[in-house]
Amino acid sequence: MKTMECPTEAMNRPVVTLATASSANHAVRPPLIKRFDEIGIEDIPLVGGKNASLGEMRRALTSKGVPVPDGFATTAAAYWYFLEETDLKPFIEESLRDLDVTNIHDLQGRSAKIRAAIVSAAMPPELQIEIHAAYEQLCARAGEIVAVAVRSSATAEDLPEASFAGAQETYLNVVGEEALLKACLRCYASLFFERAISYRADKGYPQTKVALSIGVQRMVRSDLGTSGVIFTIDTESGFRDAVLINAAYGLGENIVKGSVNPDEYCVFKPTLRERFRPILQKIVGSKEVKMIYDTGAAAVKNVPVPQADRMRFALNDDDILKLARWACLIEEHYGKPMDVEWAKDGITGELFIVQARPETVQSRKDTNVLEIYVLEKSSKVLVKGRSVGAKIACGPVRLVKSTASLDEFQEGEVLVAEKTDPDWEPVMKKAAAIITDRGGRTCHAAIVSRELGVPAIVGTQNATVSLKDGQVVTVSCAGGDTGTVYEGRLPFRVQRTDLKGIARPRTKIMMNVANPEGAFALSFIPNDGVGLAREEFIITSYIKVHPLALLDYANIKDAAVRAEIDELTIGYEDKAQFFVDKLAQGVGMIAAAFYPKDVIVRLSDFKTNEYANLVGGRAYEPVEENPMLGFRGASRYYNPRYQAGFALECAAMKKVRNEMGLKNVKLMVPFCRTVEEGRRVIAEMAKHGLTRGEDGLEIYVMCEIPSNVILADEFAEIFDGFSIGSNDLTQLILGVDRDSEIVAPIFDERNAAVKKMIAEVIAVCRKKGRKIGICGQAPSDYPEFAQFLVEQRIDSISLNPDTVLKTTLAILEKE
- Catalytic amino acids? 444, 775
3-state per-residue secondary structure call for 686-698: HHCCCCCCHHHCC
Q: Which residues contact 576 (CB under 8 A, 6 or more apart)?
A: 547, 550, 551, 648
The 10 Å Cβ neighbour count of residue 675 is 18
Distance CA 438, CA 460 (A): 6
Q: What element of type H or E holds 249?
A: strand 242-249
Q: Are 423 and 193 in contact (CB under 8 A)?
A: yes
Parallel, antiparallel, or unpaired: how do β-strands 338-344 and 472-476 relate?
unpaired
Q: Which segments of 313-468 are extended strands (E)?
A: 338-344, 351-358, 369-375, 381-388, 392-399, 414-417, 433-436, 456-458
Sign of CA dihedral 440, 443, 444, 447: positive
Helix pair 104-119, 177-190: axis angle to 10 deg:
150
Distance CA 164, CA 704 (A): 56
Alpha helix ranges (H) inside 390-533: 425-428, 444-452, 463-466, 519-522
Scored b (16 or more CB within 10 A) or e, 238-248 reads bbebbbbbbbb
Q: What element of type H or E holds 149?
A: strand 148-154
**C-alpha 339 chain-centroid distance:** 12
Q: Which segments of 542-679 are extended strands (E)?
A: 599-602, 665-669
Alpha helix ranges (H) inside 153-240: 177-190, 194-203
Distance CA 708, CA 218 (A): 68
Distance CA 370, CA 266 (A): 24
Distance CA 661, CA 241 (A): 14
Parallel, antiparallel, or unpaired: how do β-strands 263-268 and 242-249 relate?
antiparallel
Q: Which residues contact 625 (CB under 8 A, 6 or more apart)?
A: none
Listed residue (736, 762, 765, 760) closest to 748, CA to CA: 736
Distance CA 1, CA 726 (A): 75
Distance CA 364, CA 358 (A): 11
Q: Tell me, what DSSP letter sits at residue 545?
A: B
Parallel, antiparallel, or unpaired: how do β-strands 665-669 and 414-417 relate?
unpaired
Q: 596: cis peptide before it, omega within 30°?
A: yes
3-state DSSP percent of the chain in helix, strand and coil, to 5: 45, 20, 35
Cα distances (Å, whole numbers) of residue 226 to 291, 419, 421: 10, 21, 22
Q: Are 247 and 262 in contact (CB under 8 A)?
A: yes
Laid out side by side, the sheet with 148-154 consists of: 33-35, 71-74, 212-218, 148-154, 170-174
The 10 Å Cβ neighbour count of residue 284 is 16
Sign of CA dihedral 212, 214, 220, 221: positive
